[in-house]
Structure 1
Amino acid sequence: MRIEGNLRIGNTGARGVNRNTGSGPAFHVDEGNAAPRPTAASAGALPAAGIDALLTLQSAEDPALKRKKQVRRATALLDTLEEVKADLLVGRISEGRLYQLMALIGQARERGEPQLDALLDDIELRARVELAKRGLYPRP
């Protein structure tokens, strides 16, 4: 079955078919004897690799920004350690400061640097001991 009109947008790929050149659209049914005509190949979808590349770029962190975050965390951790040291020298240390220290240690962990992780483990152990002296046992 084929519907033809007076106005054509593009070539349909059919050859040697009777076409109506009148003013109105023509309609006629092809006979079942005719061999099926091959259809034009459709354009494939764009590969998803472009989207994957964009997602990878978005998830990749800028080295300069990553370094700034590390320096900011390290500075906050060192400042808190100084405050804990001063509190220990005076003989009073607040639970809030110890919890703050525990939170900063959790943020500062960078897997892949065994020496830094060992140092953070030692600091965390000391903070847990100080909390345990007060009867507080934070979750690991």
Structure 2
Amino acid sequence: MRITTTPPLGAVPTAQPVQRAERARNAFELPGQPRTEDAKPSVARAPAGTAGLETLLAVQGMQPDDRRDRRRRALQRGRASLDLLDELKLALIAGEPVPVVLLRLRGLTASGLEATGEDGLDGVLAEIDLRAQVELAKRAVQQG
């Protein structure tokens, strides 16, 4: 009895000589024609789908990390937006000019929101972004 195992993920299958199938094909003769032998043994090739399947499974295994990275980036952006809105509020209360804070806030909102896949978090981040855009619009009207 022969036991075979699948290669580990990422392993590149090597070409192995075809033995039984190739011999059977070479042994076939047509009536009235002489038997011909191949000059060199042919090599079996691994199906392309096998390597593609292993790659696909490996990529799918990486997706949860990507989701965590998107969530982490979204949280950082939300915190940065809230910090800039606080700086803007404090500068307005103190009567200080706010162009630097407005520029940073405009740069942050211009990049657009990235969906995290969590409805609650995406909703809160959209509200923060909307508030930042309202503050930018109010300052643009006041200056213009």
TM-score, structure 2 normalization: 0.52
Unpaired segments ≥5 residues, structure 1 = 1-8, 16-31, 136-140
Partners of 2:113 and 2:126 within 8 A in 1? yes
Which entry has the higher C-alpha Rg, 1 or 2?
A: 1
Corresponding residue to 2:89 among 85, 92, 98: 85
Shift of 1:88: 1.1
CA distance in 2, matches of 1:86, 1:122: 16
1:50 matched to 2:59? The reply is no
- Which structure exhibits the higher relative contact order, with contacts defined as CA atoms closer than 8 Å and separated by 6 or more residues? 2
Structure 1: how far apart are the matches of 2:18 and 2:137?
Answer: 77
Structure 1 residues 20-76: Cα deviation after superposition (integer angstroms, max 9, x where no partner): xxxxxxxxxxxx922667x97833334212223333444553555444433332222
The structural deviation recorded for 1:124 is: 0.6
- Of 103, 119, 137, the residue aligned with 1:128 is 137
CA contact (8 A) 2:109 2:133 kept: yes
Q: Structure 1 counterpart of 2:131, which letter?
A: D
Question: Partner letter of residue 45 of structure 2?
Answer: A
Q: How does 1:56-95 map to 2 (within 5 A)?
A: 56-58=60-62, 60-62=64-66, 64-95=68-99
State how far apart, in whole Å, the 2-side matches of 1:123 and 1:56 are.
36
- Partner of residue 109, structure 1: 113
Q: In 1, are the aligned partners of 2:109 and 2:129 still within 8 Å (CA)? A: yes
Alpha-carbon shift at residue 83 of structure 1 (Å): 0.7
Larger % of helix: which? 2
Tell me: CA distance 1:90–1:79, structure 2 relative to 1, closer, same or farther (3 Å).
Answer: same
Unpaired segments of 5 or more residues in structure 2? 1-16
- Determine if contact 2:92/2:98 at 8 Å carries over to the other structure: no
The 2-side partners of 1:51 and 1:43 are apart by 18
What RMSD in Å do the two structures reach over aligned CA positions? 3.9
2:81–2:129 CA contact under 8 A, matched in 1: no
Q: Give the number of aligned pairs.
A: 111
